[in-house]
Structure formats: structure tokens, C-alpha cells
Amino acid sequence: MAQLIMTVDDSASMREMVRATLQSAGYEVIEAIDGQEALEYARENTCDLVIADVNMPRMDGITLVSELRALPHYRLTPLLLLTTESSQEKKLEGKRAGATGWIVKPFNPERLLATMARVL
Amino acid sequence: MSSHKRHAAADRDRDRDRDRDRGSDGELGPHGAVPPTLPHFAHITRYWDRVHRRFAAKLLPGEYYVTTAGEQIVTVLGSCVSACVRDRRLGIGGMNHFMLPLAASKGASSWGTAVSAATRYGSEAMERLINDILKLGGRRESLEFKLVGGGKVLAGIAIDIGVRNIEFVRKYVADEGFSVAGQDLGDIYPRKVHYSPDTGKLRVQKLTAVRNKTLFERERHYLEVLDSETVGNDIELF
């Protein structure tokens, strides 16, 4: 069975790019438009990996990572942040919240897939 | 300082001198200092525009700027495009200045147009601008978009890169669910653009006679730099 990846971004263009990349590699994809929607889904469902934007309305990606890590069924799930932010302070916040990795946009599809394969 | 940075700085100084000679800006403003801005905009050239009696920020290709202080944003566009975006409720906003890399060879083919290097680069240019406005208190539902540029001005390049930039920026804005409140796109002329995020006013002068080749040299250089870079490489696992 294909692995299920949740992609979280408030930008429809970005969700489309990530979905196209993941589906081309055979993953199943579920999309959420912000951290709040992602968290609501995650409370009831598991997935194999989460790729989340940082700057989003309602709930940002770093808060989402902390909230997911507090759920027993997301304690070990790889959580990648995909963002335009590249400052060390922000990265450190992400790391402290429990993120698995940090990817700066614009992303490179091959490298994104290679990184996922490493952490899955 | 790297030689690249030194060139950019020399470019800016030259611009500033030329603008001053033409009387469009000059001495520091009435209070002697430019308004505060976000730290990542420290490199953007800003000056007191004495004709319009307000501060102005001048963008080079690849740069963007967001202001909450009633500044004007000024740039000269050839085949590049600018999105002028503001929160119409708060009167804050900004402008970018970009083009898509040509880079047909750069990891584009196997992923289709939705994830081509060009699209990823353009989306990032748009997203940075929009994110900064949202971080400063803007709301998606109050955002107003105006689009400008994309002239067919560069000779000697087979494909019309202006049209390509226009198609991208229009599609991006539509895909994100925004509408376009105003536009001045295409044609064969370079444009000098003044945008005021506080009022939303966009003033465009078509440059029918370009006095020097700086604009074209800059766009060519920008395109060469874009095409020599691999889009997207920065990944860190914790």
C-alpha cells in the first residue's frame, strides 16, 4: 500500500507543486490548508509523513509540529517544514518544536523525494 | 565584500547619482533619516523623493520590498514583471521584481510544468512578498493585486520571456484565488513604475526612448545568474 503524506500549505500553488511531486513518486497525498485543519485531521488519523509550510493563517507550521508531537500517534512521524524562511533562529524554533527537517523554498523535487526517503 | 556585491553596490551608487542629477531625489528627507524597515530589507536603496515629497525604495531585478511607512516603491521593468500587492484595509504592502529562469534543462522535464524550476522560482518570489504583508498584519481577504511589466524588450532571445512572465504571474494570482485590480502588461516598451502601497496608486511611464543599456544589461545578467543556479538546494535534517 502506498504511503500517505500530508502536505500543509495555505498557498494553492504550493500544494499543487508538492502534490504533483509526491504523486509522481507513487505516494498518496492528503492536503490541508493550514495548521488547524492539519491538526484536526491528525487527531483522528495517522499518516506516514507531514510536510508543512511555516507561515500560515490560524495555525503556523511550528505550532503544528509541537501539537503533533503531543499526540501519541505522531511522536515518531517524520515532520518536515517547507518554507521561505531561512534564518537560523526560525530553524532552531522548528528543531525545538520537534521537526525532523527544514527545507527552504523553492524546493528541488529530486532532493525533496530523496530527503523523504531517508526519513521514512 | 564579494566582487558581485561590490558591483551591485556600485550599480546602486550610480543610480542614485543619476537620479539626483535629474532632480528626482537627492538630499535626505525632512527628518534626515529613512523610515525603519525589516532587517532583511537593509540592502534596498531608499531615498527622499523631493518631487513626490515622500521616501522611495528602488528595486533591482530579483529584489522585493514591503513598507508600512507610506513609502513609494520604484523600479524599471523590461521583460521582468512586478506584482504590486497591498492590504487595502491597512494601506501596507509591497512590490517584487522578478522573471522566471529559462532553465528548461534544470530538473524540469520529469516533473511537468506544475513543478518546473521556473514555476518554483516564481512562486517563491510571490510567496515571500505575500508572507511579509501577512506577517505585518495583512489579511488574505483584503489583499489587492496589480500586475505590471513583461514587455518584449530583449532582442536576441528566441522565446518571448515577457509573455512567459505574464502568463506565470496571472496564473499564480488566479490559482491563489485573488483577483487583479489593475494591470499594465506586455507591449514592447520598458516601464518605469511607481507604486504607493498606502493608496494603491500605480503609476507607469512607458519608456519609448531608453537612453542607456543599463536596463537590458541588468536583465540579461539577472537571467544568466538565475539560469546558472540550481533552483532549490537548502535542506537540513535535525
Summarised one tens digit per residue, pLDDT across range B149-183 is: 999 887 666 668 899 999 999 999 999 999 999 99
Alpha-carbon distance of B189 to B154, in angstroms, equals 10
- Mean pLDDT throughout A66-74? 96
Interface size, chain A vs chain B, as Cβ–Cβ contacts under 8 Å: 93
| Minimum Cα–Cα distance from A85: chain B residue | B128
Residues of A in contact with B117 (CB under 8 A): 106
Q: Which residues of B are known catalytic residues?
A: 80
pLDDT for A10: 93
Residues of A in contact with B121 (CB under 8 A): 106
From residue A10, how far is each of A16, A83, B49 by CA, in Å? 11, 11, 37
User: pTM of this prediction?
Assistant: 0.80
Range of the domain at A37: 4-119
Give the number of domains in chain A: 1
Looking only at the bridges linking them, the beta strands covering B143-149 and B81-87 are antiparallel
pLDDT for B28: 53
Beta strands in B142-185 (DSSP E): 143-149, 180-185
| ipTM metric | 0.85
- Mean pLDDT throughout A26-30? 96
Sequence-ordered list of residues with C-beta below 8 angstroms from that of B60, at least 6 positions apart, any chain: B8, B11, B12, B45, B75, B97, B218
Give the residue, A98 or B153, on which the prediction is more confident.
Answer: A98
pLDDT for B56: 95
The CATH number assigned to the domain holding A113 equals: 3.40.50.2300
Cell numbers linked to B220: 540579461
pLDDT tier for residue A47 given thresholds of 50, 70 and 90: very high
Interface of A with B (CB under 8 A): 10-14, 16-17, 20-21, 24, 55, 57, 84, 86, 91, 94-95, 99-112, 115, 118-119
pLDDT for B156: 63
pLDDT for A41: 96
Closest-CA distance, B149 to chain A, in angstroms, reads: 22
Residues of B in contact with A57 (CB under 8 A): 134, 139-140
DSSP B98: B
Q: Which segments of chain B have a pLDDT < 50? A: 1-10, 13-14, 16-27, 105-111
Listed as own residue / partner, the contacts of B225-229 with beta carbons closer than 8 Å and 24 or more positions apart are B225/B62, B226/B62, B226/B99, B226/B100, B226/B101, B226/B102, B226/B103, B226/B121, B227/B101, B227/B102, B227/B103, B227/B106, B229/B101
